[in-house]
Amino acid sequence: MGAVTVPTPAEIERAAACLRRGGLVAFPTETVYGLGAHATNADGMERLYAAKDRPRSHPVIVHLAHAEQVDDWAVDVPLGARALAAACWPGPLTLVLRRSGRVPDAVTGGEDTVGLRVPDQPVAAALLAAFGDGVAAPSANRFGRVSPTTAAHVRADLGDHVDMVLDGGPCRVGVESTIVDCSTDRPRLLRTGAIGRDHVEAIVGRRVVASVAASDADADAPRAPGTLPRHYAPVAALEVTTRDRVAGHAASLRGAGRRVVVLDAPTDPQEYGRVLYARLREADAPDVDVIVAPLPDIADQVGVGAAIVDRLRRAAHP
Ligand code: TXA
Ligand code: MG
C-alpha cells in the first residue's frame, strides 16, 4: 500500500461548505466509502438518490460526529442501544432507532425509524466535526454494485454525479457496518459486519435475532436493500466454495469452456475483508464468465469472516 495523502483542513472545510449548499461529498469511512448529503437538506437528499439511482423508499444511514448527537435524531433510545453505542462507537455499527421529529422522510424512506452511525475514520471524523450536523450517506456506489473501498472506485461508479471525493486511502474494514435494529423490544441483527452477532449479544446481554432476507412473506421485514437475497453483485457469475475446492472447481468450469478467474483471497479474514470488494471489481472483467471465490475457513466465520460469507453468498445468488 502506498503512502496516502489525506485531505487538508482547507479541503475538509470546502467539503463541509459543499454539504451546506446541498452538494454531494463522497468520503471514506472505516467500512466503505459513503456518498454524503446534508440529511435535513431536501435538495441534497434528492440529488443523493438521483446520483445513486436508488429507490426513494430505501432508508439511508445518518452519520454523526459524536454519540451525544443521537438524541437529536432518535427518541425512546433503549438501554441496549446506549450500551452498543458506548461500546462500539466510533466504529462499524449502525443502530436503527425510533426517529425524532427532525428526521425528514427522505432519510427514512417513510419508515418510523432512523439508522445512525458514528464512523471511526479520521477523514470522516474531521468532515462530520467541521459540518456539525448529520450526514446521510449510503455506500458511494451505483445501486446494486459492490461498495467502493477506494476513492478510485467512487469516481469509477459516480464520476460527475458527485461534487467532491475526499480520498482517505483504502478502507480499513472493507465490508459495510453491522446493523442492529433497536427500535422494538426485540433487538434484531439486520446486517452482519465486523462487529459480530456474539459480540452484539454480549454487549446487550440478551439474544439478538438475526433478520434475514426480506421477502413478501415476512410482512414486518425492514426494507433494507442489503437484506435482499441478491444485492452485492458483480456482472460475471460468482461461485463460492471452500478454499480446498477452489482449484478443482475452477478446473472443471474451464473444462466446460467457461472463462474463469479465481478470486485472489487472503487467508487472514481481516485482510480478506479489506480487499474483498476491490478484488471482486478487478476480477469482474468483460472477458470473464465466472469468478470462483473461497469462503473463509469455518473457524474464521465470526465477525468480519461471517460478514464475508454473507456478502459472498448474496453476490453469488443467481
Ligand atoms: O458501513 C456502512 O454502513 C456504509 C458507510 C458509508 O457508513 N453505509 C452503507 O449504507 O452501507 P447503505 O445505504 O449502502 O446501506 C445501509 C443499509 C441499507 O440496507 C438500509 O436499508 C439500511 O441500512 N437502513 C438504513 N436505515 C434504516 C432503517 N431506518 N431501518 C432499516 N434499515 C435501515
Ligand atoms: Mg450500499
> Separation of 59 CA from ligand 1 center, angstroms?
7
> Separation of 273 CA from ligand 2 center, angstroms?
16
Residues lining ligand 1, Cβ inside 6 A = 29, 31-32, 34, 58-61, 94, 96, 108, 111, 113-115, 117, 119, 137-139, 176-177, 179, 190, 222, 224-226
Pocket-testing residue among 120, 166, 176, ligand 1, by greatest number of atoms within 8 A of Cβ: 176
CATH superfamily of 9-210: DHBP synthase (3.90.870.10)
What are the sequence ranges of the domains in the chain?
A: 9-210, 237-315
Average pLDDT, the chain: 92
Percent of the chain with pLDDT over 90: 83
Rounded Cα distance between 107 and 231, Å, is 20
> Separation of 13 CA from ligand 1 center, angstroms?
26
CATH value of 237-315 in 3.40.50.11030, 1.20.58.1880, 3.30.2350.10, 3.20.20.140:
3.40.50.11030
CB-based burial, 112-124: b 16+ in 10 Å, e otherwise:
ebbbbbbbbbebb
Q: Which ligand is nearest to the CA of 173?
A: 1
Q: pLDDT tens digit string along 115-155?
A: 999 999 999 999 999 999 999 999 999 877 899 999 999 99
Q: pLDDT tens digit string along 88-107?
A: 999 999 999 999 999 999 99
Q: Contact at 8 Å (CB) between 153 and 141?
A: yes
Percent of the chain as helix, strand, coil, to the nearest 5 = 40, 15, 45
Q: pLDDT tens digit string along 64-97?
A: 999 999 999 999 999 999 999 999 999 999 999 9
**Predicted pLDDT of residue 277:** 96
Rounded Cα distance between 117 and 93, Å, is 6
**Predicted pLDDT of residue 143:** 75
> Separation of 103 CA from ligand 2 center, angstroms?
20
Q: What beta strand segments (E) does 103-257 contain?
A: 113-117, 135-136, 164-165, 178-181, 188-191, 209-210, 237-241
